[in-house]
Homo-oligomer: A and B are copies of this chain.
Amino acid sequence: MENQEVAAKLLPKVLILEPPGVFTAFETEFSQKFECLRAWESPIPTDEFLDAHARSVEAMLVSGFTPITSSVLHRVPSLRCIVTTSVGLDHMDLQECRRREIAVANAGNVFSEDVADLAVALLIDVLRRITAADRFVRGEIWPIKGEYPLGSKLGGKRVGIVGLGSIGLDVAKRLEAFGCILSYNSRKKKPSVPFPFYSNACELAANCEVLVICCALTEETHHMINYEVLSALGKEGVVVNIARGGIIDEKELVRCLVQGDIAGAGLDVFENEPEVPRELFGLANVVLSPHRAVFTEESFRDAFELILGNFEAFFSNKPLLSPVMDV
């Protein structure tokens, strides 16, 4: 026991405000390599907990659900490195991190394939009405009604990918195999990509039947998918969002879905999670998923290895494995 305590004191310290999802499987393993300062387990308030470690802890582990604001950062001036288990960074004040010379690493590309898989599945789900069909069967309506409405074929659909990073490219790779006709919008045209580029989402939507939202949520992309874009997509249009809820103007999306201004939506993310607009619950042409695009056992293992690697790199003064922002 005493030896363990001594050993623990020698482990590098990592501050953690809330347990990240990967801890469900890997907390023990992580604790063997790092001394975890667990704010959520402490009886004292978080601010006081931060104050107590303010001058000693250099590293912090955060999930995508923990806001890392300038006031949090202000309380822990000794911080030099933050590793987030998420791909998205919209929960973090990156400007303040930069100002304070805090290096930031994210989950890199470990989740890209899982996210792309879910995007494709949500799209086929909406086009072919799969979850609604499952309700039709479980509700024992099949023997009574017999007929179930026709779906729409994925092959040949013009699909616009909004944000062609690692996830967007994985979506494209998959949809090509289904015979979709691809185009994309991103901050700038990518010379190595053969698909047509549209410089804004509205033009892209006007030339597609499907939009798959794969970009980061930033000030520029907030509510980028607004009424104008949804109208341009049109009555046969389907939206899939596996990125962040705030990229779509959710009120307008709900209105378009309810009024039939677009044909359907597959949504893994929402503006005010875990709240989901109640108007969607009655619609058969939407598929609703509780922000689980990255949640597979395999990706969690990969993400955990990457987190370990990032902290090990930081504590041995080596370059981070998946830096978002180096200092």
Contacts and interface: CB of A to CB of B under 8 A. Distances in A.
A117 B176 contact: no
A117 B113 contact: no
Given A117-B178, A154-B117, A178-B117, A296 B128 contact: yes
Contacts of A146: 274
Interface stretch (A71-79, A282-290, A311-319): A282-290
A281 B173 CA distance: 35
Contacts of A281: 138, 140
The quantity of this chain's copies bound in the complex is 2
Interface residues of A, number: 55
Name A's interface SS: helix
A188 interface: no
Interface string A267-306: 0000001111000010000011110100111111000000
A283 to B, nearest CB: 10
Interface of A: 24, 113-114, 117-118, 120-122, 124-125, 127-131, 133-134, 136-138, 140, 142-143, 146-148, 150-156, 173-174, 176-179, 273-276, 281, 287-290, 292, 295-300
